[in-house]
Amino acid sequence: MRFTRALTAAFVLLGLAAAPAAADSSPSASPSEGGDAPTTAGTSFRTAAEFEQGQVATADGAAGDYLYWSFPADAEQRPTVKATVKLPETHAAQTWRIDVYDGLRRRQACQWGAQTRTADAGTSSLELACVLRTVRAWSEPWANDPLPGTYYLRLTAVNVPASDLGVPVSAEVRVESKDVGGAAAVDGSLAEPLVPGIAVTSGSGEDDEDGKSAVLSAIEPEDGWSSGWWSDRWVWSGIGAVLAALAGIGGYALTRGSGRPSRVPPGA
């Protein structure tokens, strides 16, 4: 009876422990509540427009321009970058491309998605997508793994016909991430996230050569940088320890015998 009650209580505790882990593995696609999404794009890494995951950033430009945005991505997230380009009614065939770079300005490969697409003449819009690899909390110095920090998105048209150079276009970009959880956890973390990008925004800091206040990129995940210190792997490790203890208790209960030893008659 005692073993049955202990087993029931243990399963209740396991259910409570597994609930947060299941919640952490769900996609994080809710729009950010803080701040407004930018309506312009930068023209370089240095002037990239900052936006949060879940927001929709917009910008007007021209065919042949380089449009830059930046967003934060934390450990155990798998970001999906999407872009929509709206073209004028009259234009020649155009090929558009999105590229994503990490905080060290290393180009990150897309696992899948239409990173490059061609809009035929007269097409009103086209959509691009890039699913990045899962962001790791730590990596070897020689590796090219995506790490926590600022990520840069560059949108541009390639091989634009001379007749279409300068044709006005508009673009929308958005980023959503899936929280992969403990499956991507590693035994290590960065001392600081990779946020070396300089944003010409309001804030404290030394003046740059143009006389404007330059500060390190201020964007970060809504809940702050996790730096890889927590993952649901801790939960499942605890579950494994509880199951091992229950197995030991069950084995002892089955092998300890029937209880009191039988009395041996005197003189036997």
pLDDT 10s digits, 194-219: 886 444 443 444 444 444 444 456 67
155 and 83 in contact (C-beta within 8 Å)?
Answer: yes
Q: HSE of 38 in the Cβ direction (CA atoms, 13 Å)? A: 22
3 domain-assigned: no
Q: What is the pLDDT of residue 249?
A: 83
The least confident of 6-10, 21-25, 101-105, 237-241 is: 21-25
User: Is residue 15 included in any domain, yes or no?
Assistant: no
Six token digits for residue 70: 């930046």
Does residue 242 form part of some domain? no
Going by pLDDT thresholds of 50, 70 and 90, the confidence category of residue 168 is: very high
More confident residue, 266 or 104: 104
Residue 3 has pLDDT above 70, yes or no: no
Please compute the mean of the pLDDT values over residues 239-245 and round it to a whole number: 82
pLDDT at 255: 81
Q: What is the pLDDT of residue 16?
A: 46
Average pLDDT score, the chain: 77
Answer yes or no: is 227 within a domain.
yes
Residue 241's pLDDT is: 81
User: Residue 255: inside a domain, yes or no?
Assistant: no
Burial class (CB in 10 A: 0-12, 13-18, 19+), 266: exposed
* Alpha-carbon separation of residue 232 from 20, 55, 176 (angstroms): 8, 27, 20
73 inside domain? yes
Q: Containing domain of residue 71, as a range?
A: 26-231
Domain-embedded: residue 200 = yes
Tens digits of residue pLDDT in 75-97 = 889 999 999 999 998 889 999 99
Under the banding of pLDDT at 50, 70 and 90, the label for residue 265 is low
Structural domain count, the chain: 1
Alpha carbons 53 and 262: distance in angstroms, whole number:
72
How long a stretch of residues is the chain?
A: 268
Segment among 30-34, 48-52, 54-58, 84-88 with least mean pLDDT: 30-34
Strands 125-132 and 107-108: unpaired
How far apart CA 173 and CA 101 sit, in angstroms, is 15
pLDDT of 42: 94
User: Are residues 181 and 235 in contact, defined by beta-carbon separation less than 8 angstroms?
Assistant: no
Task: Give the mean model confidence (pLDDT) for residues 155-172.
Answer: 91
Q: What is the pTM of this model?
A: 0.69
Q: How far apart are CA 130 and CA 230, in angstroms?
A: 27
Residue 126's closest CA among 165, 160, 87, 99? 87
Predicted pLDDT of residue 186: 65
Tokens of 24: 């952490």
In a domain, 173, yes or no: yes
Structure token digits, residue 146: 């995506």
